[in-house]
Amino acid sequence: MSPKRKLNFSSGPAALPEDVLRNAQAALLDLDGSGIGILEHSHRGKEFGRVLERTESLIREVGNIGSDYAVLFVTAGATHHFAMVPQNFLGAGETADYCDTGIWSGKAIEEARRVGSVHVACTSGPAYDATPVHQSWSAAPRYVHYTSNETIYGTQWAAPPRAPAPLVCDASSDIFSRPLSLDGHGLIYAGAQKNLGPSGISLVIARKDFIATGSKDLPPLSQYRTYADEKSMHNTPNTFGVYVIGEVVAWIKAQGGLAVMGERNAAKAKILYDFLDRSNAWKGHAQPHSRSIMNITFRGATKELEETMLALAEERGLSGLRGHRSVGGLRASIYNAFPAEGVHRLVELLDEVERGRA
Amino acid sequence: MSPKRKLNFSSGPAALPEDVLRNAQAALLDLDGSGIGILEHSHRGKEFGRVLERTESLIREVGNIGSDYAVLFVTAGATHHFAMVPQNFLGAGETADYCDTGIWSGKAIEEARRVGSVHVACTSGPAYDATPVHQSWSAAPRYVHYTSNETIYGTQWAAPPRAPAPLVCDASSDIFSRPLSLDGHGLIYAGAQKNLGPSGISLVIARKDFIATGSKDLPPLSQYRTYADEKSMHNTPNTFGVYVIGEVVAWIKAQGGLAVMGERNAAKAKILYDFLDRSNAWKGHAQPHSRSIMNITFRGATKELEETMLALAEERGLSGLRGHRSVGGLRASIYNAFPAEGVHRLVELLDEVERGRA
């Protein structure tokens, strides 16, 4: 890491691999020796055509995604999909089941309720410190929606829920952080700005036969089938976003792929959770079986301790540790690109503050 | 210009100022000495807060936009607004009037017809070589939509149509290329990827009291009021797009503002139109009073001449001159960042090919 770069614990947009950023720097003035920068290339030209093809192909290879699934790029964040999913798949007389694990699934539920009938099949509220163990499905859900990782509360499904209908997953904060389980999934959507790239673009991985069941009574850009039929090129896509995602996924591949990322991320998280379990001053929020390996949320024994820690962290170049405004406390977001060294430095500082030596 | 950079005549995404690209290169690794890159900064942090504020403030200053108008950033291209405008403003029992000047307005009309009643008040088809002189408005249109510049046919409204209702303008291909006329406008939208920045983000300039008349029966991200009420931060915006737009508008300001841009762009276009008017082999498409200063479309006397020219142009580093696939011929897109020198080089080559000396 360059000496001047901070340790960035931001929950998203978040730290990206420095190699990716350096490649992007070069591509801004000249993409692959074309004499034109990545922001300036026509999306219909052969150069961007190659970028799009490479990014999709790397995603398929690294994610082990077969031809029964489409890989789509949507110019929008995950919040857009909160509405787009029910618009596409929740018809009159149908019910969609939702798993409520916190603020993000709450927003998805709210949007779905504008469109049709929603059944909350399980909840971990009001504490939201775990993923639900018991689910009560409706008679014949159209789909089952869950949020694989809860960025704000710091919980994560160890495995997808077993559901009686196609799963729809908001994977914004843990996509490609561990091997991808497509089993049972109709559609996975993810805002790119945590593990994949910049904000303003989302990745969708969806079964082609599930996409085909969607409503046709929507503007083309609101139908997933348009992206599948026109290879995400119905209109000008976020070309820079597609490029950066390709670079990030190439970096993941070079690291050894998703199995290696999963092991690394689990090991990084364990460093911090082990410390929290030992500490008398700091306490993790999530229950052990539901702990997120991406966002680790914790509280200090006192509000004062938290503020002391946050101020010291900023001084020492550890940035973005304040918890989400809705829940308070501290949060360490340690996505793929966040280095293990940074977690060690965080633990050292937490320990110093606890011992009153900082 | 760096020696290796090509002359980029692409219609969009398109050439950007090299100074902007160099600033963006630095910001990728470290935004303003913060130790964190622009792609990696939380959208809720103070650093991005300053970027957003600066971009909006520069747009207001350069565009001379008062406080009765909102300045919004929407993570989407113009095609998204084709649907979003009627969804917001075209209610049951109402009619919207549209000016048909070619392919882009045609797409806007198609989307509006999915939502409600549309009256095509004027058309320049089927040749689309001019902007319409005569309009026949409906009794009480909800709004009047026009496309200020037709990228594919190369026509441009010299001044906005005089309409009996708030104007809604797709200004994607000429925003900030000349002084902005807000008079009579309810809403202006523009995909950024021609004169303003990268693809995947659009700028909206809209009267606050017009926004307030929009439907509330839509998902929040489909309502313009959400962007106005929440300062384009209802969800994570395209942070890099907002940053680059700020850099581009700062560059426009440093050049002398929109009046200077307008003079420069008119002068650049005149070089090429004057040549086309003199030439026996090359002929401009648009009628003189409707000529675009952004996209200059023309044909060769024979298809063979066109192909000879296109092949030679690529050899000599003049890129992106092939006309849109739907109309053929050649097209030179010469937005703000395109240098006058490049237009001279194009004219020289066209002349060489005409004289058979190339």
Indicate yes or no: pTM above 0.80: yes
Q: What angle do CA B331, B334, B335 make, to 5 degrees?
A: 130
Helix (H) or strand (E) holding A105, with range, is helix A103-115
Using the predicted structure, report yes or no on whether residue A358 has a pLDDT greater than 90. Answer: no
Distance from CA of B24 to the nearest CA of A (A): 8
A20-255: which CATH topology? Aspartate Aminotransferase; domain 2 (3.40.640)
B3 confidence band (pLDDT: 50, 70, 90): low
Q: Could you give the C-alpha distances from B6 to A67, A352, B60, B247, B314, in angstroms and in order?
A: 38, 56, 32, 21, 9
In 3D space, the residue among B213, B127, B166, B43 whose CA is nearest the CA of residue A79 turns out to be B43
- What pLDDT, in 10s, does the model give residues A204-246? 999 999 999 999 999 999 999 999 999 999 999 999 999 999 9
User: How far is the C-alpha of B194 from the C-alpha of B98, rounded, in Å?
Assistant: 23
Q: What is the mean pLDDT of residues B298-322?
A: 96
- What pLDDT, in 10s, does the model give residues A292-309? 999 999 999 999 999 999
Does the interface predicted TM-score (ipTM) exceed 0.90? yes
pLDDT of residue A357: 75
Mutate to test the interface with A, among B238, B322, B335 (most CBs of A within 10 A): B238
User: How far is the C-alpha of A198 from the C-alpha of B325, rounded, in Å?
Assistant: 31
pLDDT of residue A4: 80
User: How far is the C-alpha of A284 from the C-alpha of A329, rounded, in Å?
Assistant: 10
Using the predicted structure, report yes or no on whether residue B136 has a pLDDT greater than 90. Answer: yes
User: How far is the C-alpha of A123 from the C-alpha of A105, rounded, in Å?
Assistant: 10
Using the predicted structure, report yes or no on whether residue A1 has a pLDDT greater than 60. Answer: no
Task: Let me know: does B291 contact B284? Beta carbons within 8 Å.
Answer: yes
User: Residue B114 corresponds to which tokens in the numbers above?
Assistant: 């999915």
φ/ψ of A233, rounded to 5, equals -120, 30
Helix (H) or strand (E) holding A206, with range, is strand A202-207
Q: What is the mean pLDDT of residues B284-298?
A: 97
φ/ψ of A106, rounded to 5, equals -60, -40
Distance from CA of B278 to the nearest CA of A (A): 30
**Taking CB atoms and an 8 Å cutoff, what residues of chain B touch A219?**
82-83, 111, 114
B355 confidence band (pLDDT: 50, 70, 90): very high
Residue of chain A nearest B238, judged by CA positions: A200
Active site residue B183: no
Contact B219 A82 (CB under 8 A): yes
pLDDT of residue B276: 98
Domain limits of chain B?
Answer: 20-255, 257-355
Active site residue B170: yes
- What pLDDT, in 10s, does the model give residues B207-222? 999 999 999 999 999 9
- What pLDDT, in 10s, does the model give residues A25-75? 999 999 999 999 999 999 999 999 999 999 999 999 999 999 999 999 999
pLDDT of residue B220: 97
**DSSP string for B220-288:** GGG-HHHHHHTTT-SS---HHHHHHHHHHHHHHHHHT-HHHHHHHHHHHHHHHHHHHHH-SSEEESS-G
**Taking CB atoms and an 8 Å cutoff, what residues of chain B touch A80?**
75, 221, 235
Contact A45 B16 (CB under 8 A): no
Report, in angstroms and rounded to the nearest whole number, the Rg of chain A calculated over CA atoms.
Answer: 21
Query: What b/e sequence results for B228-254 when a residue is b if at least 16 CB atoms lie within 10 Å of its CB, and e otherwise?
Result: beebbbebbbbbbbbbbbbbbbbbbee
**Taking CB atoms and an 8 Å cutoff, what residues of chain A touch B41?**
10, 13
Contact B15 A40 (CB under 8 A): yes
pLDDT of residue B4: 81
Using the predicted structure, report yes or no on whether residue A2 has a pLDDT greater than 70. Answer: no
Q: B150 - beta bridge partners?
A: B155
User: Residue B208 corresponds to which tokens in the numbers above?
Assistant: 């606050």
**Beta-carbon count within 10 A of B190 CB:** 25
User: How far is the C-alpha of A176 from the C-alpha of A257, rounded, in Å?
Assistant: 9
User: How far is the C-alpha of A331 from the C-alpha of A329, rounded, in Å?
Assistant: 7
Distance from CA of A126 to the nearest CA of B (A): 23
User: How far is the C-alpha of B135 from the C-alpha of B153, rounded, in Å?
Assistant: 20
pLDDT cut 70: percent of chain B above it: 99
User: How far is the C-alpha of B156 from the C-alpha of B131, rounded, in Å?
Assistant: 7
Using the predicted structure, report yes or no on whether residue B2 has a pLDDT greater than 70. Answer: no
- What pLDDT, in 10s, does the model give residues B30-86? 999 999 999 999 999 999 999 999 999 999 999 999 999 999 999 999 999 999 999
Q: What is the mean pLDDT of residues B160-173?
A: 97
- Specify the CATH number for B257-355; select among 3.90.1150.10, 3.40.1160.10, 3.40.630.10, 3.40.50.300: 3.90.1150.10
More confident residue, A358 or A275: A275
State chain B's mean pLDDT as an integer: 96
**Taking CB atoms and an 8 Å cutoff, what residues of chain A touch B42?**
10-13, 320
Q: What's at A54, amino acid-wise? A: R
| Positive or negative: CA dihedral B42, B46, B51, B52 | positive
Using the predicted structure, report yes or no on whether residue B152 has a pLDDT greater than 80. Answer: yes
Out of B45, B241, B325, whose CB is closest to A200? B241
User: How far is the C-alpha of B356 from the C-alpha of B358, rounded, in Å?
Assistant: 6
Contact B235 A77 (CB under 8 A): yes
Q: How many CB pairs under 8 A join A and B?
A: 195
Using the predicted structure, report yes or no on whether residue B109 has a pLDDT greater than 60. Answer: yes
Mutate to test the interface with A, among B2, B25, B239, B244 (most CBs of A within 10 A): B25
pLDDT of residue B327: 84
Question: Would you please indicate which residues of A are annotated as catalytic (active-site) residues?
Answer: 104, 170, 194
Residues in chain A: 358
- What pLDDT, in 10s, does the model give residues B44-60? 999 999 999 999 999 99
Out of A11, A76, A239, whose CB is closest to B199? A239
pLDDT of residue A164: 95
Q: What is the mean pLDDT of residues A320-338?
A: 94
In 3D space, the residue among B179, B154, B183 whose CA is nearest the CA of residue B169 turns out to be B183
pLDDT of residue A325: 82
Contact B36 A82 (CB under 8 A): no
pLDDT of residue B234: 97
Residue of chain A nearest B324, judged by CA positions: A44
- What pLDDT, in 10s, does the model give residues A76-86? 999 999 999 99
**DSSP string for B140-177:** S-S-EEEESEETTTTEE-SS----SS-EEEE-TTTTTS
